[in-house]
Amino acid sequence: MDTITLSGMAFYGYHGVFPEETKLGQRFVLDVALRLPLEQAGRSDDLTLTINYAEAYELIKRIVEGEPYKLIEALAERVAMELMQTYTSIHELTVRVTKPHPPFDAQLHGVAVEIQRKRAGVHP
């Protein structure tokens, strides 16, 4: 299966459990890998046979900068669900949401959740 990857997408959102997170907000970084057949698009050079990644980016941005979620797990799930519903050519995907500055005393580069979803009944 072929892959389109959107990596290092940074957005400002208001997700979190603590009141200061939902009031002040913070940066979130997302990486998304979309797995789908790309051979026809590659051979024909036809945008309609692939996923317009600028449009996918805007969909992801709207979600991350929109409705707040307590958990980054819920945010990742919403992104995955919306992408799968919008782009029926996706066979499976991976969504990674990183919170670079979690609100607790720790020396780390961030906390991340990575989920993988596969369309039911699709076999490569």
Indicate which residue of 23, 61, 70, 99 is catalytic: 99
For 83, the token pair is 């992408």
Residue 41 CA, chain-centre distance (Å), reads: 23
For 101, the token pair is 């500055």
118 has catalytic annotation: no
CB 96 within 8 A of CB 32: yes
First vs last C-alpha separation in the chain: 7
Q: Just list the catalytic residues.
A: 99
